[in-house]
A and B are shown apart, each in its own frame.
Chain A
């Protein structure tokens, strides 16, 4: 049984996570204890908490670099990710241990704090997004590559327009064409209902159903066949929209998290330098 690849296991194995959490708690306790020890031996606890904190921040930021070095046998990235998340949470605790407060004094420290909180919150949000959204995507039953979305949307639009032209030609009636230009044309232009998709709503499909059923009463049987095809296309496009919305969010949060992390790292580095220049 041991040879079953982990990927085939639907049940998540929690043991490594528990061990990881244990290690992180132990690290925190060790840091807290050594800072207490220093406090009891005329040392500066901020020294040990500060360097530990900085060390972990370095570890967190080299996650990005490690991801680029996929060719090197330095633990699989899959190990780094839980470590990154766990360290990220640990770092919040270390930050509080280091500053001794939720909101430090001093303009510069406050700047670091606000950036720190932004990084932490965006990280937690991102982790949540990455844990919840993939399942939603799977449930759509289709798989779309993000970069392909514009081409697919354009494809669908072309197909829809082709259908409308064909319908007009065949039935010599422009009802469907008129209806299309008035309503569905907007829908096929680009992905829509992004926010609603992100929240898991069904606004998109509801919109499609409503508009298709509204049109139905003005059409004869031949036109209705085209309408059914349009309906099919619109539903498919709605799923593409959903993929687009979800996949966008899974990438966009990093657009915030990464630059702010870089800023935080630089600010911390400067802080470290100043502390060394001024008081250590």
Chain B
């Protein structure tokens, strides 16, 4: 008994979003029409609305000109404007340097080197006193605190505003931006950012405070729970989700790049919005993987080879497989993801030649898939007359030798296509020296954050290291938000401080890349929960060495050029249609 340390098992709201939230704040918020209309009796006793507001929300105040959200950021929260006015910059985006892109605090040279001797000699040692401190202080942030950037005081002010600002400090509201900026205003009661928060997607536009503004920031767990138990919010969120997502995606789609607002609106009015597969695709995927060989039949067919197409399919989110029948089997030609389209070639040919042409390939959903369907008549009226004839066809990929398919088939069936930083090891070069593992351990307090073992195929191995997925399913279900995307670069990171070791993420990860570890204190004693006497666990995984000055240490350390962190899309064979 003497040789163990104890601490309370962390709970869902152990680390509230903002400990400074008071009862009065919560009361005030509950009285606002957005919350007053909610039937709080539908919430379970352990997850009361007041509790959600208390723990999953915080009040933030912005001065005129200060940026609230930045385009391109990964955000885990949505906002409700309580008072004041915000401006949303629709296009063009604000200069990226103005958006700050605050970097994660990297270790300095000495800090980096000192790891060699400072690292604990005990595996998974933690300073447990830190965890208890965190509960009381308000300084806690999951990421480096970012000083709010203000448009008014920025170096780019001259380029942003029509007139020069005389005294930024005293300005009560932001003067109009130059004409090239298209903006819209948000008034109290507006909710925004919910798409990025729930869709695990990047923010689509920047928002800044027009005048002094008070906002309620709701982290996505809270938003998720409110949406789950309140019909009104669900309708609101779904409606907006559908409309905004649709328009954003149409605007950003390469095919519609040069369309004017009117045409986009016309297209949007007629576009159908469809989803395939399940939102939590990884659960069924893991099950089917355990049961037997994956078969493509388990993937819902979106469009079938030989059928006639009634519209162009734009991929809005998720992945889809493009296949073609070869002999007695099906062959994967490529896979599609966000911003790719399907069926263009056939529809264009049909329009041009005036006769219907059947689909040359089949499209099936890999797990969760959002598709926008633009009907054929809209294409013929609005789009085809103004676009150039496509030079490359999706089916062109069928020309390559069958033998070259295997890596793609493997990557798709193992869903490595999801990864952006997949650890690929060339086994013909790897001398099994474990330098990568040791380097990783050095950068993480003496603990490796991956296992140099994993699925292999044709001399390549994808090691069990976090791939920093495009669709990070591990983030679904984290009760505390400990697992999140870093503001910069979108790396998936686990905040050790708020992780309660529930294992949800580890169980969600289809690639088994998250490991739960039993922590020890600095003296090397196992840390146990005093109640159950079970060890305190923490979820751990690769964080891409975000604190190191050098980027992923495993790549740096490999002496034989055998290890790479890569996006499978970068391989020629795997290039998606639109990138070719």
Assess whether B426 is in contact with A7, with CB atoms less than 8 Å apart.
yes
Assess whether B432 is in contact with A146, with CB atoms less than 8 Å apart.
yes
Residue B447, interface by CB 8 Å: no
Assess whether B453 is in contact with A77, with CB atoms less than 8 Å apart.
no
**The one of B428, B453, B550 that contacts A143, using a Cβ cutoff of 8 Å:** B453
**The one of B453, B459, B550, B563 that contacts A72, using a Cβ cutoff of 8 Å:** B550
Assess whether A134 is in contact with B439, with CB atoms less than 8 Å apart.
no
Contact mask for chain A residues 235-264; partner B; CB cutoff 8 A; 1 contact, 0 none: 000000000000100110000000000000
The interface residues of chain B lying within 8 Å CB-to-CB of A77 are 435, 556-559
Assess whether B571 is in contact with A8, with CB atoms less than 8 Å apart.
yes
Residue B553, interface by CB 8 Å: yes
The interface residues of chain B lying within 8 Å CB-to-CB of A146 are 432, 434
The interface residues of chain B lying within 8 Å CB-to-CB of A78 are 558-561
The interface residues of chain A lying within 8 Å CB-to-CB of B113 are 69, 71-72
Residue B443, interface by CB 8 Å: yes
In the bound complex, CA of A24 to CA of B556 (Å): 24
In the bound complex, CA of A133 to CA of B432 (Å): 10
Instruction: Please indicate which of the listed interface residues A4, A7, A250 has the most CB atoms of chain B within 10 Å of its own CB.
Output: A7
The interface residues of chain A lying within 8 Å CB-to-CB of B548 are 71
Residue B109, interface by CB 8 Å: yes
**The one of A4, A70, A133, A135 that contacts B550, using a Cβ cutoff of 8 Å:** A70
Residue A137, interface by CB 8 Å: yes
Q: Which of B74-133 contact A (CB under 8 A)?
A: 107, 109, 112-113, 115-116
The interface residues of chain A lying within 8 Å CB-to-CB of B438 are 70
Residue A276, interface by CB 8 Å: no
The interface residues of chain B lying within 8 Å CB-to-CB of A76 are 555-556, 558
Assess whether B570 is in contact with A4, with CB atoms less than 8 Å apart.
yes
Closest chain B CB from A265 CB (angstroms): 20
Closest chain A CB from B73 CB (angstroms): 25
Interface size on B, as a range, is 35 or more
Residue A130, interface by CB 8 Å: yes
Assess whether B571 is in contact with A4, with CB atoms less than 8 Å apart.
yes
Total number of residue pairs linking A and B with CB closer than 8 Å: 108
Closest chain B CB from A122 CB (angstroms): 15
Instruction: Please indicate which of the listed interface residues B432, B439, B564, B572 has the most CB atoms of chain A within 10 Å of its own CB.
Output: B432
Assess whether B428 is in contact with A7, with CB atoms less than 8 Å apart.
no
In the bound complex, CA of A76 to CA of B433 (Å): 16
Contact mask for chain B residues 439-458; partner A; CB cutoff 8 A; 1 contact, 0 none: 10011000000001100100
Residue A18, interface by CB 8 Å: no
The interface residues of chain B lying within 8 Å CB-to-CB of A138 are 427-428, 459
Instruction: Please indicate which of the listed interface residues A67, A69, A81 has the most CB atoms of chain B within 10 Å of its own CB.
Output: A69
Residue B431, interface by CB 8 Å: yes
Residue A217, interface by CB 8 Å: no
Q: A1-B572, A72-B109 are in contact. Are A67 and B432 (CB under 8 A)?
A: no
**The one of B431, B459, B553, B562 that contacts A250, using a Cβ cutoff of 8 Å:** B431
Residue B461, interface by CB 8 Å: yes
Assess whether A5 is in contact with B559, with CB atoms less than 8 Å apart.
no
In the bound complex, CA of A209 to CA of B107 (Å): 57
Assess whether A70 is in contact with B427, with CB atoms less than 8 Å apart.
no
Residue B264, interface by CB 8 Å: no
Residue B232, interface by CB 8 Å: no
Residue B549, interface by CB 8 Å: yes
Residue B424, interface by CB 8 Å: yes
The interface residues of chain A lying within 8 Å CB-to-CB of B442 are 68, 70-71
Q: A6-B561, A76-B555, A138-B428 are in contact. Are A251 and B433 (CB under 8 A)?
A: yes
Residue B134, interface by CB 8 Å: no
Residue B378, interface by CB 8 Å: no
The interface residues of chain A lying within 8 Å CB-to-CB of B459 are 138
Contact mask for chain A residues 1-34; partner B; CB cutoff 8 A; 1 contact, 0 none: 1011111100000000000000000000000000
Assess whether B435 is in contact with A133, with CB atoms less than 8 Å apart.
no
In the bound complex, CA of A235 to CA of B319 (Å): 40
Assess whether B566 is in contact with A134, with CB atoms less than 8 Å apart.
no
Assess whether A71 is in contact with B431, with CB atoms less than 8 Å apart.
no
Assess whether B550 is in contact with A73, with CB atoms less than 8 Å apart.
yes
In the bound complex, CA of A143 to CA of B564 (Å): 18
Residue B545, interface by CB 8 Å: yes
Residue A156, interface by CB 8 Å: no
Q: Which of B563-577 contact A (CB under 8 A)?
A: 563-564, 566, 570-572
The interface residues of chain B lying within 8 Å CB-to-CB of A8 are 424, 566, 571
Assess whether B571 is in contact with A70, with CB atoms less than 8 Å apart.
no
Interface residues in chain B, defined as those with a beta carbon under 8 Å from any beta carbon in chain A: 107, 109, 112-113, 115-116, 424, 426-435, 438-439, 442-443, 452-453, 456, 459-461, 545, 548-551, 553, 555-564, 566, 570-572
CB<8 Å pairs between A and B, sample of 23: A1-B572, A7-B564, A67-B435, A69-B113, A70-B439, A70-B556, A71-B113, A71-B439, A72-B109, A73-B549, A73-B551, A76-B558, A77-B435, A77-B556, A78-B561, A80-B559, A81-B561, A134-B560, A134-B562, A137-B432, A143-B453, A145-B432, A251-B433
Q: Contacts A73-B551, A134-B560 given; 11 further ones with Cβ under 8 A?
A: A1-B572, A5-B566, A5-B571, A7-B424, A7-B561, A8-B571, A69-B116, A72-B113, A77-B556, A134-B431, A143-B427
The 7 closest A-B pairs by CB, nearest first: A70-B439, A70-B557, A7-B564, A73-B550, A78-B561, A81-B559, A70-B553
